[in-house]
Amino acid sequence: MPPPNVEIDPAVLASAAGQTVVITGAAGGIGAATAALFSQHGANVVIADLSLARAAAEKLIPTLAHPDRAIFVPADILSWADMKNLFRTAVATFGRVDVVVANAGIMETKPVLDLDAVDADGELLESREAFRVIDVNVKGTLNTIRMGLHTMRSNPAKHSGHGGSIVLLASTSGYFGGTGVTAYIASKHAIVGLLRSCQATAAQCGVRLNAVAPFYTPTHITAGYADAWAAAGLEANTPDDVAGVVLQQALNLAATGTCVLACGLIRRELEMTRAALIGQWMGDDVTALMGEAGKLFAKLGGYPLPKARE
């Protein structure tokens, strides 16, 4: 019997009213659908995307339920100056930031393990595109998390001691990843790592940190196999489907450290399920060892970092 489905609660979505959300990569795809759904439920929406997406963002805003409560802020998530300006502008415009959705991400356009990619001398070429994917998806997400925590830690707590919420866009590729899209899969595994490793600091800041792991969703990233997927009759998302899960994760006060796989009508929590199965996976001895190690690091106030080499 499969684990229970994660349900979308209309009452939870309705709690978006009056809150301010910053969404990266929001001019199109899942980001735009998320912006539209937040606006539909009465939120103030800050659409962040690259400057080249300005036309798309400005076309999106008039279609929102509350266009007068939505702004576009050009921001490259790899630019610290841009990120500081993004969050400063959000606070200056709407008073505070309540939710951050780290949605921006890219995929390589050519195989990074193409060993035939050589120069005129037959020497293997460096895969700069792989570095770009990892930079945007991992470094950019980390920038978004850090600025989100920094901005929201000063929020007066609204509910249950929580003053804000961050949702990361992971992927089923962050848990399975057998398709060979090397840089993208590695980056999405890193997003899951960020979800887990940032929990203690997020809790100290009064911020809930969760994730969504979409399965196949028709966007420009998946356009190359959309027809084949549909012909195979496989379950699929729409961007609106994923947006609903993002809002549920962002606004559900009971969700902390969770990640929901989203695939159309199939929505399953991954992190808590994994934790419950560690004993079966690793054995009771390893489970006990990891638990005791965790207690030790907590007693030490975290992992003692090594000194920098001189």
**pLDDT grade for 214, boundaries at 50, 70 and 90:** very high
Catalytic residue annotation? 184, 188
Residues 107, 82: one domain? Answer: yes
Residues 209, 283: one domain? Answer: no
Residues 186, 295: one domain? Answer: no
Tally of CA atoms within 13 A in the half-sphere of 217 that contains its CB: 28
Residues 302, 180: one domain? Answer: no
Residues 61, 198: one domain? Answer: yes
Contact (CB, 8 A) for 173 and 215: no
pLDDT at 229: 66
Which residue, among 52, 197, 79, 203, has the nearest Cα to 147 in the 3D structure?
Answer: 79
Which tens digit of pLDDT belongs to each residue from 37-87? 999 999 999 999 999 999 999 999 999 999 999 999 999 999 999 999 999
pLDDT at 123: 97
Residues 297, 214: one domain? Answer: no
| Residue 189 belongs to a domain | yes
| Residue 295 belongs to a domain | yes
pLDDT at 251: 97
| Residue 298 belongs to a domain | yes
| Residue 1 belongs to a domain | no
Average pLDDT, stretch 209-218?
A: 89
Which residue, among 113, 148, 140, has the nearest Cα to 127 in the 3D structure?
Answer: 113
| Residue 5 belongs to a domain | no
As given in the structure block, the two tokens for residue 123 are: 């020497």
| Domain that residue 134 falls in | 10-276
pLDDT at 236: 75
Q: How far is CA 282 from the centre of its chain?
A: 28
pLDDT at 6: 93
The CATH number covering residue 142 comes to 3.40.50.720
d(CA 12, CA 9): 5
Please state, in angstroms and as integers, the Cα–Cα distance from residue 234 to each residue in 193, 228, 253, 263, following that order.
28, 10, 32, 10
d(CA 164, CA 144): 14
Residues 64, 110: one domain? Answer: yes
**pLDDT grade for 228, boundaries at 50, 70 and 90:** confident
Residues 113, 32: one domain? Answer: yes
pLDDT at 180: 84
Residues 297, 265: one domain? Answer: no
Domain count, the chain: 2
Residues 235, 309: one domain? Answer: no
Percent of the chain residues past pLDDT 70, beyond the cut: 95
pLDDT at 216: 74
Residues 259, 283: one domain? Answer: no
| Residue 229 belongs to a domain | yes
Residues 249, 298: one domain? Answer: no
Mean per-residue pLDDT of the chain: 92
- A 10 A CB-CB count for 260 gives 25
| Residue 2 belongs to a domain | no
Which tens digit of pLDDT belongs to each residue from 242-262? 999 999 999 999 999 999 999
Which tens digit of pLDDT belongs to each residue from 152-202? 999 987 665 678 999 999 999 999 877 789 999 999 999 999 999 999 999
d(CA 237, CA 34): 13
Sheet containing 266-269: which strands, arranged edge to edge? 70-74, 44-49, 20-24, 99-102, 164-169, 207-214, 259-263, 266-269
